[in-house]
């Protein structure tokens, strides 16, 4: 698996040096994504999901740095590349989609200019050749009459259409891997379904690997093949979507899934996880989740659980042997 993985992250640690000491935001994560596979990364705000994506593409903000670990893309180690080399990979090998389509596009350049510019940076194309490709690409992401739309400016597109343009921009140099950071969060629910369907289709058609970062379990359930649940800078559970949704092992994952309202079953009330995630400078001993966990026991407060196999997935919890699986 690891040999042909498009993305292979090994023991990644990301730190932010601040005036009051170094904050560790990502505390050692391992994950791989294969060709055409969609890995959902889910968790609360601040769990480190977006940072993981930013670390892969080399755009950590304000002094953030990769302190340990390795990132390999298509078999090549990329976490130590100089800026020039990294710029060649961005767009070409790793595409990115950001949350807000309304602000992701430059308001002063036409959609076509932005597409053509990106393609010509990465590929030996004439302007006319890039133009033709851009029209086909807009068609592919579902923009009607692309030959007219290509000469228009971002403000002439609706939110959903703009996110399609953003997706076209992320795909235009045919990357092997796409990091999609909350691609549907800023959209209407009806548009969300269209965009997730589109993402799924392009990954299947092009064999593109995708890291789909979101806090929305529903999007993950619809789109992803596997899911990694993050909590306080670590992966607490990872495995195939179907088995994790049906039988979550980690109490945190159970909480996340229990908090999704269901249309078919009428439950008394939604499950709520009390409390909030620990601050980066106040990580508890042992399992980071234990202060909020209803099942915490002495061992949880002392020792941090590693990821352990549990059925078809892996989870980091001392309760894996079935004692708590019937609760919550």
Sort 67 into a burial class: Cβ within 10 Å, 0-12 / 13-18 / 19+: middle
Q: Of 112-171, which residues contact another protein (CB under 8 A)?
A: 117-118, 121-122, 153, 155, 166, 169-170
CB closer to another protein, 6 vs 105: 105
Q: Residue 63: which region, alpha, beta or left (left: phi > 0; alpha: psi -120 to 50)?
A: left
Question: Distance (Å, rounded) from C-alpha 111 to C-alpha 155?
Answer: 10
Determine the interface stretch with another protein among 8-16, 34-42, 106-114, 277-285 (rule: CB under 8 A).
Answer: 106-114
Single residue of 106, 158, 312, 321 touching another protein by CB under 8 A: 106
**Angle in degrees, CA 19, 235, 1, rounded to 5:** 125
226 backbone dihedrals φ, ψ, rounded to 5°: -125, 165
Token representation of residue 38: 């969609």
Single residue of 143, 150, 173, 187 touching another protein by CB under 8 A: 173
Determine the interface stretch with another protein among 29-37, 110-118, 258-266, 315-323 (rule: CB under 8 A).
Answer: 110-118
Contact call for residue 191 and another protein (CB under 8 A)? no
Which pairing describes strands 308-310 and 313-315: parallel, antiparallel, or unpaired? antiparallel
- Helix (H) / strand (E) containing 230: strand 226-231
For residue 253, which of 45, 77, 42 has the smallest C-alpha distance? Answer: 42
Residue with structure tokens 């078809």? 312
CB closer to another protein, 5 vs 57: 57
Distances (CA, A) of 56 to 8, 60, 127: 10, 9, 30
Helix (H, G, I), strand (E, B) or coil at 177: strand
Contact call for residue 77 and another protein (CB under 8 A)? no
Give the nearest distance from C-beta 82 to another protein in angstroms: 13
Walk across the sheet containing 226-231 and list its strands: 94-97, 177-181, 209-214, 38-42, 226-231, 234-240, 313-315, 308-310
Contact call for residue 233 and another protein (CB under 8 A)? no
For residue 24, which of 308, 276, 278, 236 has the smallest C-alpha distance? Answer: 278
Give the nearest distance from C-beta 59 to another protein in angstroms: 6
Determine the interface stretch with another protein among 43-51, 93-101, 198-206, 267-275 (rule: CB under 8 A).
Answer: 93-101
CB closer to another protein, 27 vs 122: 122
CB closer to another protein, 90 vs 164: 90
Give the nearest distance from C-beta 95 to another protein in angstroms: 8
Residue with structure tokens 């939604």? 270
Contact call for residue 76 and another protein (CB under 8 A)? no
Question: Distance (Å, rounded) from C-alpha 5 to C-alpha 74?
Answer: 7
CB closer to another protein, 59 vs 242: 59
Each residue 37-66 as x (binds another protein by CB under 8 A) or -, in order, gives: --------------------x-x-------
Each residue 256-295 as x (binds another protein by CB under 8 A) or -, in order, gives: ----------------------------------------
Judged by the rule CB under 8 A, the positions of this chain that interact with another protein are: 57, 59, 87-92, 95-96, 98, 100, 103-110, 117-118, 121-122, 153, 155, 166, 169-170, 173
């Amino acid at each position: 698996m690891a040999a042909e993985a498009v993305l292979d992250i090994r023991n990644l640690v990301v730190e932010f040096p601040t005036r009051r000491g170094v904050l560790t935001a990502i505390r050692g994560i391992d994950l791989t994504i294969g060709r055409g596979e969609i890995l959902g990364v889910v968790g609360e705000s601040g769990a480190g999901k977006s940072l993981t994506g930013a670390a892969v593409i080399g755009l950590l903000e304000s002094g953030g740095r990769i302190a340990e670990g390795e990132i390999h893309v298509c078999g090549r180690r990329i976490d130590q590349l100089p800026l020039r080399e990294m710029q060649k990979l961005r767009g070409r090998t790793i595409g990115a989609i950001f949350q807000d389509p309304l602000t992701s596009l430059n308001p002063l350049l036409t959609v076509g200019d932005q597409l053509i510019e990106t393609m010509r940076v990465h590929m030996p194309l004439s302007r006319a050749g890039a133009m033709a490709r851009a029209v086909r690409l807009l068609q592919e992401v579902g923009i009607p009459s692309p030959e007219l739309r290509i000469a228009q400016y971002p403000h002439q597109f609706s939110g959903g259409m703009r996110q399609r343009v953003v997706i076209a921009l992320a795909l235009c140099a045919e990357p092997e891997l796409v990091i999609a950071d909350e691609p549907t969060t800023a959209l209407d629910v009806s548009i969300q379904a269209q965009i997730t369907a589109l993402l799924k289709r392009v990954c299947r058609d092009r064999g593109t690997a995708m890291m789909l970062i979101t806090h929305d379990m529903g999007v993950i359930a619809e789109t992803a093949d596997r899911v990694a649940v993050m909590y306080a800078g670590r992966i607490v559970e990872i495995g195939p979507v179907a088995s994790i949704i049906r039988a979550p092992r980690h109490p945190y994952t159970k909480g996340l899934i229990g908090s999704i309202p269901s249309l078919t079953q009428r439950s008394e009330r939604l499950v709520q996880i009390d409390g909030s995630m620990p601050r980066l400078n106040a990580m508890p001993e042992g399992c980071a989740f234990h202060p909020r966990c209803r099942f915490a026991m002495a061992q949880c407060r002392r020792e941090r659980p590693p990821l352990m196999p549990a059925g078809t997935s892996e989870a980091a919890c001392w309760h894996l042997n079935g004692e708590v699986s019937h609760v919550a």
